Structure 1
Amino acid sequence: MIKKILSILFISQIFSHTQAQNSFYIANKAPLAPLKYIELPLGAVKPKGWLHTQLKIMRDGTTGHLDEYYPKIMNDNGWLGGKGDAWEETPYWLDGALPLAYLLDDATLKAKVQKYVDWVIANQRPNGYIGGITKAEREGKTLSDCQQGDDWWPKMVMIKVMQQYYTATNDKRVIKCLSNYFKYQYQNIKACPLVKWTEWAQARGGDNLMSIYWLYNITGDKFLLELGDTIYQQTTPWTDLLGKRNWVMQAAANQTNEKWMERHAVNVGMGIKLPAIYYQSKKNPELLKSLKTGWSDLMLLHGLPHGMFSGDEDLNGNDPTQGIELCSIVETMFSMEQMISITGDQTYMEALERMTYNALPTQTTDDYNSRQYFQIANQVQVSRGVFDFTLPFWRGMCNVFGPYAGYTCCTANMHQGWTKFTSHLWYATPDKGLAALLFAPSSIKAKVGDGTEVSIEEETNYPFEDQINFTINTPKSVDFPFEIRIPVWCKEATLLLNGQKLRTEQGGKIARIKRVWANGDKITLQLPMEVKTTNWAGNSRAIERGPLVYALKIEEEWTKKEIKEEGIYYDIQPKSAWNYGLVLPVVQKTSENTSVTIKPKSDAFVWNSTNAPIEIKTTGKKIPSWQIVEGVARQPITARDGLYLGEVDKKEETITLIPYGCSKLRVVAFPVVK
């Protein structure tokens, strides 16, 4: 039996899919390049376990109710024909609320978001224009000229909302609406280019291009490919910026007004997918090479231990006291999800999982009603102040937790992070199989092989524990390939079929198992998680285990405050010491000088320090001179040999670390001391 299993198991580092595309789902039509992985319809993946809890918290919190109390969306909404918000914030909210409604199959939330989709479709102008009522229309004019229209940018977000809605419902009105809209854009984009109203549309044209190709794959209308070329030419040249390298270096040095939109971290997070999106049309490998070079450079010069690049609001180097805007996290996540589909490159799978499980959860409160505009990696207090941010003066509110603290774009945009991550845990393969490329407790229902609909239950407490079980439910035996990512951080993984060992495999590969699957077949993936240290800015060290980065657990004192302009917010002060360096033996022999404690699994898990499901204990010494200055715990100077040479307490202390995503106060980038 084992020999038979092994004979049909094929595992390779780089698997070249056939040119034939999966006919069950929306795949690329010629002449677009075949996709490496194909996105599944919204609702095909369902959350389970702790992930289901996270999405329910969002439904019961801001994501499910933002339109009921946030004045900008609640009052006279422009996307429902009113005079209120007709720009980005309503579509931002819908871009998370609509997928949440279908992921949870929540009738109330479905009804809430449906009215916005219906209004956009019902109020499309005869010439194809969509969006809020324009100034010209309120003056009694018809939109006979594109000059009387309005910004292209917010429409790009609303189109993403409608795409997701279509995959969930198959509502043909969406295709007619988008076809007419893109015909309008095709006829007017040269007279009214992307940059006409705002630079935001110019910087974010990749999202426009992405939707054009999506629609082409459904209708096959050739004008869409020509429109795509024009949109690419009018968009900020992210391909050149990423590939030619001077940009990312200049961004580390230049904080002036000069070309600041090219340094704006949210623009970068959205723009980074542009080379991959356009590659579908041109099939030029230089496009993907530019993307790979740019991502590597970006993380080298601006990357932080939690997996994101700095951005407060601009790219701002790799010092652990720089900030990260919440919008930039969720937009970079979405870009990665698209890049995975197009390139199949495991680099982006690893990057997506790291930022999702570390940077994302720490920036919102337990009830998902408050968030930070900027988080800080080494964040030993949360308070009003200007700190070291490139955008320091927004009433000093960029670092505190609150519903509206800082700019409110994040109040509306944060909702797409967890929802889209959930819907992209699984992809279809071009040869009518399925791929588990990202891991979380979930289930998938999809057509495979000969068209049989199967479901797979993914039982796991990942990213906290190291075992993942996939149970296949099928009405009959069916032949299809099943691909599973082996994370790069795992030295050696083990695959089992129905409890019997198949083989071990090194990390950084995609395991492919093609066989005739029977009902109840179970694949188990064991991913041993080794504790290790990694080197970051200023010779600092972070402690990692598996996909998670660990941070010093600091006792927190929360204080609720209020200012007239922005309402309530929360200040958090440390109640325990934080100024520790790691002793040298922790770096030299990490596994021997750390101990890991895993708490019992709970589906009621919340990302906070109290409920942290794992603790790592290790040894540190206090650095007396490392203190908060101007609200910032700036990194102690470390010699090139990696050691801090200033005064250090003689006493060694046991310190406790928790997953970075569970922290609000923390040190993650530690100096090393003798």
Structure 2
Amino acid sequence: MIFRLFCHGTSHARGSSGACWACYRPERTLVIVKAHTRQDANLDFTVAPKAFLSLPLGSVYPAGWLHDQLAVQTNGLAGHEHDFYDYVSKTDWTGGTSFYSSLEEAGSYWFNGMVPNGILMKDATIMAQTQAFLDYVISHQDSTGWLGPEVGTNKPRYLWGRYPFFLGAMQMVEYDPSQTTKVVNAFNKFISLANTMLHAGQGLEDWTRTRWEDFVIMLQWMYDNNYSPGNETLLIDTMHQLKYTGDPWELVFEQQYFPTGPVENTPNPFNLPLTWHGVNLAEGMKALPATYRFTHNQSADLGRISSGWDLLFQYHGRPSGIYGADEYLAGQGAVRGTELCLVVETMFSGSYLYQVSGDPKYADRVERIAYNALPATLTGNMWSRQYLQQQNQIAAQNMNPNPFPLDGPYSNVFGLEPNYPCCTVNHPQGWPKFITNSFVVSPDRSSLVHLYLGPYNVKTTLAGGNVVSVNVNTMYPFSDTLTTTINAQKPFVYKVRVPSWTVGGTISVNGGAAKAVAPVNGLHSVKVAAGKTTIVLDLPAEVTIEQRPNSSIAIHRGVLNYAFDIPRNQTILAQNAQQPMAVDLQFEATAPWAYAIDPTKLTFHNTLPASGSLPSPVFDSGLSPLTITAVACPIDWPIAGSTFAAPPPVKPSCTGTAQNITLSPLGTTKLRISEFPTFTLS
């Protein structure tokens, strides 16, 4: 018997056992097991503190253009999936029969993203949907403590599908503490069962082995909030069990084993190929900081992920801030793909890495990903999304030949579920979690930190009952200036991140003279008095050049990567029968795109509207107030088949007269060239 299920990031045939044939690999090499074996005698049953603490959901709300961006998401595909999309809408959560594999992957993903989406937008419909989902799952927990659709069935019980649900439920408790008891009670029952299963070697398959860190984060949330009093040893033992039955991320990120190019023809040294899977890596980057909290081994855990993070972006990084993995790690080629799930999971992992370690490089990259890679892979109205985006993308269509060795030719179409459906249900977490993690506090709650720059409204209580509200008025990243108004009952220290790309940044407090910013570990501190304080922060940047493969270059100014927005036409390939806005779109170029540019002839333009507001949706063609004029000349640049560009030619000759072309923020482009050959204007 063979049947199909939505299967942990893929849609594969399953056998009667329920195991994914294309995913499951039981081989575990002896060298890895030996290197990864826990030493019970050395267990430390305490959890180390983080460098910074996140604020509860509902403390930080988007304002200005960022609020509008989340409204576009809410009015688009993400906000309407429950109305029509099969993987989300096939459940009667009010007490009837569940037809939908709610905790195998799709429901967990959707719930995890839509909980903060609904709350940040104060959308009563979405909040009711997520509440019904939470209540249904908890009310159907069985007597053993198991949560999930396997209740009352003979399906195998694998742990991983519950983990995104845990993250969503944690957010609901943070926002609404009245739900603490029912959620925590359900968690405690499940933890006890899971601990027993893990000791017995049960509940494990390859996706559980790669993504164990999300369960550890839930366990640490329980520990940090004293939600399992008297059971702290059980919590930490379960953390250890997850780590030592899971894939060894400390070895995956070790330099001698880390791949320096595309891996489709490279044997995995551990016989664990799913550790080179793009989304698994994105989630797995939380594993070592989570491990550090219960091993207290700073060098082996925080040090290893820090160097591993650098290796990942050195060998697979993109100018958009993300890395390439068209299913598996793909090197630096400009037409190799990056999965949308990978984008949002890397953003979440980077936020967690910053909160544990305090290293500003993680925050810099998360902000770059959010303002480039995330909007680049969605249509402006967010009704259609890609599975894979490309840095040089001259067409979005069914690709023949196909540049993606391990993904289908439909992968870069903008649609409802091109290639695999996982990104449809998972991508909505991107913007909401970026917003909720944009402010953090010091462990003693004496300082408030503005981490990801943009427009926000914040209200929180710091140490000593100090009620603080913050309004950040800015069009950043479409402007260099942020005006922050703080009202506080008592004095405290306010900190703001100064991005590494800032040149000549200044800060003024309460109308005083502007002074040069002086960040320490990426943060500039301001001593805020009781009452009202106004801070004006100016963070200018220069146009910079990034060297890319084939002697090509990428163009940046500040956080934004710039690209040539290729004019295009649009063809509807498919339309959902229930929701006509959910369409699959083919884009084809309608103008030349084969240009070389002179990197010494770049002029930045800022045409911010006098109204002080930005167009909506701002991440769409022609709507950005920021552009760069480049001097370019047409060149011979081969294409592969008719659907993707060959690597940028080295030292090309001009085939026509030099001319000006306009570069736009990459996130506004849907067809683009962002890695350019160069020439010198004579």
Partner of 1:666: 672
The equivalences for 1:137-156 within 5 A come to 137-138=152-153, 150-156=157-163
How far, CA to CA, are the matches of 1:63 and 1:253 in structure 2? Answer: 32
SS at 1:672 equivalent:
coil
Shift, 1:79, TM fit: 11
How far, CA to CA, are the matches of 1:66 and 1:338 in structure 2? Answer: 28
Partner of 1:4: none
Deviations 1:181-237 (A, max 9, x none): 111111221224453xx3111111111111111111122532101110111111211
Partner of 2:425: 412
The equivalences for 1:30-49 within 5 A come to 31-49=46-64
Shift, 1:250, TM fit: 6.9
Partner of 1:199: 206
Report if aligned partners of 1:480, 1:516 keep a CA contact under 8 Å in 2.
yes
Normalised to the residue count of structure 2, the TM-score between the two structures is 0.87
How far, CA to CA, are the matches of 1:340 and 1:92 in structure 2? Answer: 23
| Aligned pair partner of 2:653 in 641, 647, 651 | 647
Partner of 1:300: 314
Report if aligned partners of 1:554, 1:576 keep a CA contact under 8 Å in 2.
yes
How far, CA to CA, are the matches of 1:502 and 1:636 in structure 2? Answer: 44
Matched, 1:452 2:466: yes
Amino acid at match of 2:323: F
| Aligned pair partner of 1:330 in 344, 352, 355 | 344
Unaligned runs of 5+ in 2: 1-43
How far, CA to CA, are the matches of 1:336 and 1:657 in structure 2? Answer: 28
Amino acid at match of 1:260: P
How far, CA to CA, are the matches of 1:249 and 1:513 in structure 2? Answer: 39
The equivalences for 1:459-474 within 5 A come to 459-474=473-488
CA, structure 1 residues 449+572, in 2 after alignment: closer, same or farther (shift >3 Å)?
A: same
Report if aligned partners of 2:261, 2:332 keep a CA contact under 8 Å in 1.
no
Report if aligned partners of 1:493, 1:505 keep a CA contact under 8 Å in 2.
yes
CA, structure 1 residues 525+241, in 2 after alignment: closer, same or farther (shift >3 Å)?
A: same
Partner of 1:84: 100
Matched, 1:384 2:391: no
SS at 1:189 equivalent:
helix
SS at 1:236 equivalent:
coil
How far, CA to CA, are the matches of 1:192 and 1:561 in structure 2? Answer: 46
Report if aligned partners of 1:243, 1:289 keep a CA contact under 8 Å in 2.
no
Partner of 1:26: none
Partner of 1:441: 455
Report if aligned partners of 2:379, 2:670 keep a CA contact under 8 Å in 1.
no
Amino acid at match of 1:189: L
How far, CA to CA, are the matches of 1:168 and 1:410 in structure 2? Answer: 26
Shift, 1:117, TM fit: 0.5
Alignment size in residue pairs: 618
Shift, 1:252, TM fit: 4.2
Report if aligned partners of 1:252, 1:316 keep a CA contact under 8 Å in 2.
yes
How far, CA to CA, are the matches of 1:45 and 1:449 in structure 2? Answer: 18
Matched, 1:124 2:135: no
The equivalences for 1:402-551 within 5 A come to 402-432=415-445, 433-474=447-488, 476=489, 478-501=490-513, 503-505=515-517, 509-513=521-525, 515-551=527-563
SS at 1:414 equivalent:
helix
Partner of 1:64: 79
Matched, 1:228 2:239: yes
How far, CA to CA, are the matches of 1:408 and 1:670 in structure 2? Answer: 32
Report if aligned partners of 1:427, 1:436 keep a CA contact under 8 Å in 2.
yes
Partner of 1:576: 591
Shift, 1:124, TM fit: 1.6
How far, CA to CA, are the matches of 2:272 and 2:523 in structure 1? Answer: 43
Partner of 1:175: 184
Report if aligned partners of 1:487, 1:507 keep a CA contact under 8 Å in 2.
no
Report if aligned partners of 2:278, 2:329 keep a CA contact under 8 Å in 1.
yes
Partner of 1:12: none
Shift, 1:251, TM fit: 5.4
| More deviation, 183-192/38-47 | 183-192
Equivalent pairs: percent with the same residue?
A: 28
Deviations 1:295-319 (A, max 9, x none): 1111111111101110111111001
Matched, 1:96 2:113: yes
How far, CA to CA, are the matches of 1:621 and 1:319 in structure 2? Answer: 23
Partner of 2:298: 285
Amino acid at match of 1:348: Y
Unaligned runs of 5+ in 1: 1-28, 140-147, 587-592, 639-643
| More deviation, 422-431/652-661 | 422-431
Report if aligned partners of 2:494, 2:528 keep a CA contact under 8 Å in 1.
no
How far, CA to CA, are the matches of 1:218 and 1:278 in structure 2? Answer: 18
Report if aligned partners of 1:472, 1:518 keep a CA contact under 8 Å in 2.
no
Deviations 1:538-585 (A, max 9, x none): 221111111000001221211112399999411111122111111253
How far, CA to CA, are the matches of 1:440 and 1:30 in structure 2? Answer: 39
RMSD, matched Cα:
2.3
Partner of 2:219: 212
How far, CA to CA, are the matches of 1:319 and 1:558 in structure 2? Answer: 26
How far, CA to CA, are the matches of 2:577 and 2:211 in structure 1? Answer: 30
Matched, 1:166 2:193: no
